Amino acid sequence: MIEITPRIHRLGTSHHNFYIFVEGGKATVIDAGCSKEWPKLIAGLASIGLGSEDVEAILVTHAHADHIGFGRQAQKNGVRVEVHGDEESRALGTYEGKAAISPTELPLWRPGTWSFLIALMRVGVAKQPRLKSVETFGDGEVLDLPGKPRVVHTPGHTEGHSAFFFPEARVVFTGDALATRDLLGKSRLELQVMPDAFHNDPARNRESLGRLTSLRADLVLPGHGHPFEGTPAKAVAQALA
């Protein structure tokens, strides 16, 4: 686990992230990693003197296997899992569209692609236990959780993809709307929009980025890659350049 600020901690692998936000001895968790990463969350919480009982909820940016993987395990341990209303069918496994990019659609001739796949396979990305039920939120809703996060619906990667803005902490968690790591194995590590093949609707994803530009934050935390220190407006401008 990596401390980003005294209140924000980053977990996952070098290829994907999930986060703990701590306030007043309680936690909001952003995303649920891959299916084998529940122990990582428990160990991370323990390292800062907390347990699963101190997690008020897990907020899921979108219901892909590397973002909601241990969601069902969390629920079994009494932790609430929440998604945008438009993401509910994906979380429950009843979605009838294309679930996510398949390995055969990736450039498998690139060594970096295999590095990405192997890293996520090791933590259980191939298995996505579906949730039996899930709580939902809507765009603009301010959630009664540590940090008082506000939901910013950013559809495109998936229909219900959402970012979470913590106004007092001046941080926004952007899920897969933005990335600072190239998942296809190229050397670029700067801010970028993920390749079109990863998005359900690439044009809508780019359009949704405009919803982030007015947020008064100084830190942007993506689902893949390192933190970006700067405003969301600057992050979006760099990603689209």
Q: Which two tokens stand for residue 109?
A: 């001739």
CATH superfamily of 2-240: Ribonuclease Z/Hydroxyacylglutathione hydrolase-like (3.60.15.10)
The predicted pLDDT at position 127 comes to: 83
Structure tokens of 170? 């001046």
- The pLDDT score that the predictor gives to residue 108 is 65
Strands (DSSP E) found in 86-170: 135-137, 150-153, 162-166
User: What is the model's pLDDT at position 134?
Assistant: 96
In whole angstroms, give the CA distance from residue 51 to residue 37: 15
Return per-residue pLDDT of the chain as tens, 241 residues. 999 999 999 999 888 999 999 999 999 999 999 999 999 999 999 999 999 999 999 999 999 999 999 999 999 999 999 999 999 999 999 988 777 767 666 666 777 777 777 888 889 888 878 899 999 999 999 999 999 999 999 999 999 999 999 999 999 999 999 999 877 765 456 788 988 888 899 999 999 999 999 999 999 999 999 999 999 999 999 999 8
Q: In the chain, what is the straight-line distance between the N-terminal and C-terminal CA atoms, in Å?
A: 32
Q: Which residues pair with 49 in a beta bridge?
A: none
Can you give the pLDDT at residue 189?
66
